[in-house]
Amino acid sequence: MAQRFSRRSGSFSRVALAALALSLVAGCGFSTPSNGGMRTGTEAELTARLSDGQKDAAVIVSTSGPAQIGKLAEAGMDIWGVDGKRVIGSITQRQYQTIKRLKLEVTYLPGKSGLDNSFDPGYHSNAEMIDALKALASRYPNLARLEDFGDSWEKKQGGKGNDLWVLKIGKGDTSAKPGVIYLGLHHARELVTPEMVLNLAKHLLEGYGTDAEATHYVENREIWLVPMVNPDGHALAEQGSDWRKNTNSSYTNLQPGHGPSGPGVDLNRNYGYKWGGPGADTNPKGATFRGAEGFSEPETAAVRDLVRQRKWSFLMTYHSFSNLILWPWGHTNVAPPDNRLPAIGKKLGEFSGYDPKQSVSLYPTSGDTTDWAFGELGILSYTTEIGTWGDGFDPPYSKVPQFWNENRPGSLYMLKLADNPSAVFGPELKTVKVQNGQFNASASGALTDVEFFVGKPGKEGTGTRLNASGLNASGMLPPSVMTEKQLLLVHARGANGQWGPFEAVWSR
């Protein structure tokens, strides 16, 4: 969604582009700011570059804020990144006319076309991702199953195309258990996003039986993971294309190429709730083209049908970049009618170090995943924008461990809260230890009650009580619990009367 500030390839380096953006000054007209010796183009050069109506150009645009940024998105600007009121991205003649009509300041970056990308071989190709998912399902047959839930646009046309895959994790009958669904790669070039979904699957399955938290989630949740919503587009990204949309060529006579001015539908503008509103383009060549109608694309229709199969507590969709946690609404400035959304979003921001905010505060969008999931189905839904401007869409694969460390706590936190999202307002236990039958727990706020359950959570107030005093709680485990290694789930109630989320620990 919010997009890149730089690329690793091309004549402008990540650091140089970031420095250039920071050098911009407010004003109107054509800008040639001080930039440490890097040349920026003239207005005549930009006009000449865009004169045939086909070429694109990399620019930085200064705006008055989200409303004008939304106008640029509606005009089809390929927005790479947003820095407050400044936007960097790729434009064609059509978007340049919008910029001039709005009388916005623009800086032309003639050495950067924005049409290239780098695909580090460490990233999973479509085929490699499917192999990895199949390997997990084969290795853990009692905990995971892999299902084909739909076809990509190209496959629907009878071409090679791709299947859409979901890995479902959970032990036993999961139909009545709290559920969380994770989605990656709505936008083809956002290479790190499928890796986050795959890493979560590995973390849960490989940790089962040894990691108490992972074991709790596998046994007491239903978890669905979709690493790639847009595999057709990803196939282009694997070839070095800076591709965003799917590859639906039925709207134009163009064929998929390397830049934003080509065929395809922006899948994150194609969901049916409030489809056709702000921040989505009506021109098929635009980077944010919304499609003919909501759910016109087989990929979004398949996700819709998948999500509708059961009730969900949370939906997380991963994008890049900008280090943001976003929640509905994106189509309106009105706050969402659920105070849990910002409360949990701020916690996700604390865990990741990312900036949490309502989606519309970045710039208005419509037809996106989270507005639909929350607006139509009532699912608490979030977008995570991974990476900095310096990372862009195609960071080296060596950055993936860092991104996973940033996002692992938040992805697990949603699983923690899935049985009771309102637990975000209760106390969170910071330490929980069991040693020689002695149970000790502590929190950052005063505790009025602490209890634990064996194996799975029970009704609040019906568990085995521990002695709570101030910030701490303690007690001896019953002998029946100490005879073998068992999963213990403990939570606490604070002075506000709210119970907090469960923490998992082994009895021995």
Q: Are residues 388 and 267 in the same domain?
A: yes
pLDDT at 52: 81
Q: Are residues 324 and 444 in the same domain?
A: no
Each of the 508 residues of the chain gets a pLDDT tens digit; together they read: 544 332 323 333 333 444 444 343 333 333 333 343 446 889 999 999 999 877 888 899 999 999 999 999 888 888 888 888 999 888 989 899 999 999 999 999 886 555 567 899 999 999 999 999 999 999 999 999 999 999 999 999 997 899 999 999 999 999 999 999 999 999 999 999 999 999 999 999 999 999 999 999 999 999 999 999 999 999 999 998 889 999 999 998 877 655 556 799 999 999 999 999 999 999 998 889 999 999 999 999 999 999 999 999 999 999 998 899 999 999 999 999 999 999 999 999 999 999 999 999 989 999 999 999 999 999 999 999 999 878 989 999 999 999 999 999 999 999 999 999 999 999 999 999 999 999 999 998 999 999 999 999 999 999 999 999 999 999 999 998 888 999 999 999 999 999 999 999 999 8
Q: Are residues 382 and 400 in the same domain?
A: yes
| Nearest C-alpha neighbor of 66 from the set 339, 381, 285, 329 | 329
pLDDT at 258: 52
How far apart CA 108 and CA 41 sit, in angstroms, is: 5
Q: Are residues 100 and 209 in the same domain?
A: no
Per-residue three-class SS string for 288-343: CECCCCCCCCHHHHHHHHHHCCCCCCEEEEEECCCCEEEECCCCCCCCCCCCHHHH
Whether 115 is covered by a domain: the verdict is no
Q: Are residues 460 and 413 in the same domain?
A: no
The DSSP secondary-structure symbol of 116 reads B
- CATH code (residue 216): 3.40.630.10
How far apart CA 110 and CA 389 sit, in angstroms, is: 19
pLDDT at 260: 57
How far apart CA 191 and CA 105 sit, in angstroms, is: 31
| Domain final residue, candidates 399, 422, 445 | 422
Q: Are residues 161 and 276 in the same domain?
A: yes
Which residues are the active-site residues? 385
- CATH code (residue 48): 3.30.70
Q: Are residues 377 and 446 in the same domain?
A: no
| Domain final residue, candidates 364, 394, 422 | 422
DSSP secondary structure string, 441-501?
EEESS-EEEEEEEESS---TT-SEEEEEETTEEEEEPPHHHHSS--EEEEEEEETTS-B--
Locate the DSSP E strands across 18-173.
Answer: 57-62, 78-83, 86-91, 105-109, 144-151, 163-169
Whether 3 is covered by a domain: the verdict is no
Q: Where are the alpha helices (DSSP H) in 175-269?
A: 192-207, 212-220, 231-238
CA angle 215, 216, 219 (to 5 degrees): 85
Single-letter amino acid, residue 224: W
Edge-first strand order for the sheet with 503-506 is: 429-435, 438-443, 472-476, 464-469, 447-454, 487-494, 503-506
Whether 2 is covered by a domain: the verdict is no
Count: domains in the chain: 3
How far apart CA 284 and CA 248 sit, in angstroms, is: 10
- CATH code (residue 432): 2.60.40.10
pLDDT at 290: 97
Whether 6 is covered by a domain: the verdict is no
Q: Are residues 178 and 327 in the same domain?
A: yes
Give the range of the structural domain holding residue 414, as residue numbers without chain letter: 126-422
How far apart CA 485 and CA 165 sit, in angstroms, is: 35
How far apart CA 125 and CA 261 sit, in angstroms, is: 24
Whether 114 is covered by a domain: the verdict is no
Whether 465 is covered by a domain: the verdict is yes
Count H helices and E strands in the chain, helices first: 14, 19
pLDDT at 99: 96
Q: Are residues 397 and 433 in the same domain?
A: no
Whether 121 is covered by a domain: the verdict is no
Q: Are residues 184 and 296 in the same domain?
A: yes
| Domain final residue, candidates 365, 392, 422 | 422
Whether 120 is covered by a domain: the verdict is no
Residue 117 and residue 7 in contact, taking contact as beta carbons nearer than 8 Å: yes
Q: Are residues 450 and 387 in the same domain?
A: no
In this prediction the pTM is 0.92
Q: Are residues 209 and 315 in the same domain?
A: yes
Residue 291 and residue 166 in contact, taking contact as beta carbons nearer than 8 Å: no
Collapsing DSSP to helix, strand or coil, 19 comes out as: helix
